[in-house]
Chains A and B, each alone.
Chain A
């Protein structure tokens, strides 16, 4: 029983972090039809910036995290600027973003080395829920934090004017232009929000787990599994799928070991594509 509660709580924390990454990836794809292979860059850049700021300039964890997320947004906008001239050429967009991701991975390897680093958590210590059930406080706090951000994003997309414009562009680009929506502005806002989400996911993740430069590509595996399960371009689908994939990931880690997680993700993806290629909530392209 105690193990089960621990599993549920820890899985929710992982699922929440995955949801922050995947919803941004899905938003960018939905709005601009860009497959952003550099999405993991925002995740890693914010975590590594915060770790660097705390270690070298001994900043406190909150301002370091804030600067980290700002760095993520900056890199997101950089990706926007790089893909702008070739946006109609899907092959080149994939190649440029993938090359950018590998470039950053290489630079992080040269600067920080290939060892795992962690960020000082917002709250230290262990919460004793029951005498046998002790969970690090940051794992507990990560759940409401992620859920609050996702709820705010859901409200923003469905209620605000700008959010409705984002929806309009993702449904039909040409029609949105015709009714006078500034499509470029919508692209920029989307990529900035998505990068900030990935950046915040990086901050939370590095407070719970170790981060390695190779995470830049590794997080993409989970993001792909989530968006395919949830349906490409569906925001709510990707959030639901994140928690499912989070539990699948944790169950794999507990039973088979961490080495198997990629393999299980591939089986999941191939299984979904074979049975229901549009995912849970996807629309046929």
Chain B
């Protein structure tokens, strides 16, 4: 806990100094990456800690995003009651968590692969609502939120808002993962039978993990929308899901800080550094998918855990000599 806390504080301190050096166009991207990193960390909570392979995390991101967008622009559904952006973000999290509760109640009481199978198709299903009610949700294009209805308007303000959002969310999830609750999640991940024998209500805690994780996915989706001022079906997309998986797997499942760092790096790589590599059948997504396959086969425990293991071996070696 102490090590992770120190890492998080150092990282935030460095990030809070960035606006003095980085031009605002890049600052804008880094802020988006911070929100994306929260989504990755919340995925790590359900997969890396509770051990339930959720392949539909973007469902909850998209639900949160569209909920907040509709609440902030209520004229789209013919209501004039406007909601403050902060309230909209919290409500978005609650909507995502409620849907997650419903999904969890049906699928998580079953052992085996049912949860993965059902969550895998969730984003494809929920994405369709955008095309069915085109005039409300805006179809393929999505719709935009007027500048005056968002949380902040300048890039610097938005960047610090994203940084604060990241810091608070990750602190909270770090606290959960190190509490007795987190310990129960890990016990369930390592052996459901053993946890049951110890008197842990396995189904209850699996559902709780899903609800907490989806709540953060929802508020992150809502923050995303308030940050870039548009909402569109790409927030549901399976390719976003793969980006989340890629970051968490390379970062090392079940370490929170590893996925956080990798989330930042991968998001910037995809939207900034790799966009130059586009020729023939190669584009940035192809490169990332190949990377993911290679890492998953060669280092199934993640780069972060692999490096930590090596460092520990080296330090053991020096202590002995």
B47 interface hit (Cβ, 8 Å): yes
> Which one of A44-52, A81-89, A117-125 is at the interface?
A81-89
In the complex, whether B292 has a CB less than 8 A from a CB of chain A is yes
Across the interface, which residues of B come within 8 angstroms of A204, CB to CB? none
Chain B residues contacting A265 (CB-CB under 8 Å) are 121, 125
B122: chain A residues within 8 A (beta carbon) = 266
* CB-contact partner of B245 in A95, A221, A232, under 8 A: A95
Residue pair A91, B47 in contact (C-beta under 8 Å)? yes
Contacts of B114 in A (CB 8 A): 228, 273, 277
- Give the residue of A107, A259, A273, A285 whose beta carbon is less than 8 angstroms from that of B128: A259
For A257, give the chain B residue with the smallest CB separation.
B132
Interface of chain A residues 195 through 228 with chain B (CB within 8 A): 217-218, 220-221, 224, 228
Residues of B within 8 A of A260 (CB): 128, 132
Q: State the Cβ distance, B64 to closest chain A Cβ, in Å.
A: 19
Give the distance to chain B from A36, nearest Cβ to Cβ, in Å.
Answer: 12
Of the candidate stretches B30-38, B174-182, B283-291, B304-312, the one touching chain A is B283-291
Q: Is the CB of A94 within 8 A of B242?
A: no
Contacts of A262 in B (CB 8 A): 121, 124-125, 128
Complex contact B238–A259 (CB within 8 A): no
- Name the A residues within 8 Å of B239 (CB-CB): 102
CA distance A99 to B112 in the complex (A): 21
Say whether B55 contacts A273, CB under 8 Å: no
Residues of the A chain whose Cβ atoms lie less than 8 Å from the Cβ of B107:
273
Contact residues in A for B293 (Cβ distance below 8 Å): 82, 96, 99-100, 103
Least Cβ distance of B133 to chain A in Å? 10
| A285–B112 CA distance with the chains assembled, in angstroms | 7
B286 contact from A92, A103, A277, Cβ within 8 A:
A103
CB distance from B166 to the nearest CB of A (A): 25
Q: Are B111's CB and A285's CB within 8 A?
A: yes
Q: Which of A31-51 contact B (CB under 8 A)?
A: 35, 37
Determine whether the beta carbon of B289 is less than 8 Å from that of A263: no
Answer whether residue B162 sits at the interface, using C-beta atoms and an 8 A cutoff.
Answer: no
What residues of chain A lie closer than 8 Å to B281, measured between beta carbons? 107, 110-111
A233 vs B56: C-alpha distance when bound (angstroms): 23
Among A86, A91, A220, A259, the most chain B Cβ lie within 10 Å of the Cβ of A91
Smallest distance from the beta carbon of A127 to chain B beta carbons, Å? Answer: 34
Q: Is B110 an interface residue (CB 8 A)?
A: yes
Contact call A82/B297, Cβ cutoff below 8 A: yes
With A96-B296, A220-B120 already in contact, the answer to whether A232 and B290 are too (CB < 8 A) is no
A217 near B128 with CB under 8 A, answer no
Contact between A102 and B289 (Cβ–Cβ < 8 Å)?
Answer: yes
Bound-complex Cα distance A59 to B56 (A): 41
Q: Does B10 contact A (CB under 8 A)?
A: no
Whether B296 contacts A99 by the Cβ 8 Å rule is yes
Q: Restricting to A143-179, which residues have a CB under 8 Å from any CB of B?
A: none
- Check B289–A266 contact: CB distance below 8 A: no
A181, chain B: closest CB distance, angstroms: 24
Residues of B within 8 A of A (CB): 47, 53, 55, 103, 106-107, 110-114, 116-118, 120-122, 124-125, 128, 131-132, 238-239, 242, 245-246, 249, 253, 280-281, 283, 285-286, 289-290, 292-293, 296-297, 300
Q: List 14 A-B contacts (CB under 8 A).
A: A82-B293, A90-B53, A92-B297, A92-B300, A99-B242, A102-B289, A103-B286, A106-B286, A221-B121, A232-B113, A265-B121, A265-B125, A273-B110, A274-B106
User: Other than the known A102-B289, A103-B289, what 19 A-B pairs have Cβ atoms closer than 8 Å?
Assistant: A82-B297, A91-B253, A92-B297, A92-B300, A96-B292, A96-B297, A98-B242, A99-B242, A99-B289, A99-B293, A106-B286, A110-B283, A217-B238, A220-B120, A221-B121, A260-B128, A265-B121, A266-B125, A270-B106
